[in-house]
Amino acid sequence: MNTIYILWLRQLKRYLRSRSRIVGSLGQPVLFLVALGFGFGPVFQKAGQGNYIEFLAPGIIAMSILFTSIFSGIEIIWDRQFGFLKETLVAPVSRLEIMIGRTLGGATVAVLQGVIVMVISFFAGFRPGGLGNIFAAFLVMFLISLLFTALGTAIASELDDMQGFQLIMNFLIMPLFFLSGALFPLNDLPGVLALIVKIDPLSYGVDGLRATLVGTSHFGLSADLLVLSIITAILLGTGSYLFSRIQI
């Protein structure tokens, strides 16, 4: 447990000390929130769908968590290249504890990033249902961050090249985001697109945030939590196995 805490704290300190990383990672979510929120807002409202900022904000929060979580896997490759990972792996501690500590650290950082985007969305006009809803949203945010941090860790465990990881992440991240329903309603979608949306795990994260923050849901909050929990458990197991096979 001490190892898990140390690695979790290291990830958190690394994030808090990097002000440029915090500011830089906010650029895209703010751009999406402002440009799309105010650009498509009138069209969305004329179509009878209500306030687009309220619809969009949960999706942008989920996007911020997705990006931060999955790219935390890059740190494994970085640490491997600079020797820190080797020092950690040769220590007389379980690799499972190392993986859990790193994953919890990455998930915590992603949740903090999501909270920052949520606060920014308040200035754009987003208003959640109530304080209790915000606390419920933290659970969904944590599941999203844990799921995609485990996915990033699993992929990075099989790679030793930074460029290769970035190519794979770009291939995964944009489809995961754009096909999650973060930018558009999930009602009356064409059959193939509706199937892809149901396969995309981020769809349940976005829907869970909308259920807790706005009070609207496509799948139902119980289904969202169940699917996120199952996929998170599978990816944690997969990530732990692949991380344990890293050669030093």
Write down the pLDDT at residue 37. 78
- Mean pLDDT over each residue of the chain, to the nearest integer: 82
Write down the pLDDT at residue 92. 63
The residues, ordered by sequence, that sit 6+ positions from 164 with a Cβ below 8 Å of its Cβ are: none
Token output for 74: 């890059």
Write down the pLDDT at residue 16. 67
Write down the pLDDT at residue 210. 93
Number of neighbours of residue 79 by Cβ within 10 angstroms = 17
The tens digit of pLDDT for each residue in 46-69 reads 766 678 888 889 999 999 999 888
> Amino acid identity of 238?
T
Output the CA–CA distances (angstroms, integers) from residue 4 to 1, 87, 95, 104, 242, in the order listed.
5, 15, 10, 8, 18
Across 37-53, average pLDDT = 75
Write down the pLDDT at residue 139. 92
The Cα 26–Cα 117 span in angstroms is 7
The residues, ordered by sequence, that sit 6+ positions from 6 with a Cβ below 8 Å of its Cβ are: 101
* Predicted confidence (pLDDT) at residue 90 exceeds the cutoff of 70: no
The Cα 224–Cα 13 span in angstroms is 31
pTM over 0.85: yes
**Selected residue with higher pLDDT from 75 and 55:** 55
Q: Which domain holds residue 65?
A: 2-244
Write down the pLDDT at residue 89. 65
The tens digit of pLDDT for each residue in 115-169 reads 999 988 888 888 877 767 788 899 999 999 999 999 988 888 877 777 777 777 7
The Cα 142–Cα 6 span in angstroms is 20
DSSP 9-27: HHHHHHHHH-HHHHHHTTH
**Selected residue with higher pLDDT from 192 and 12:** 192
For residues 151, 166, 76 and 25, what is the CA-based torsion angle, rounded to 10 degrees?
-90
Write down the pLDDT at residue 247. 66
The Cα 93–Cα 125 span in angstroms is 48
With pLDDT > 70 as the criterion, what percentage of the chain qualifies?
A: 84
Number of domains, the chain: 1
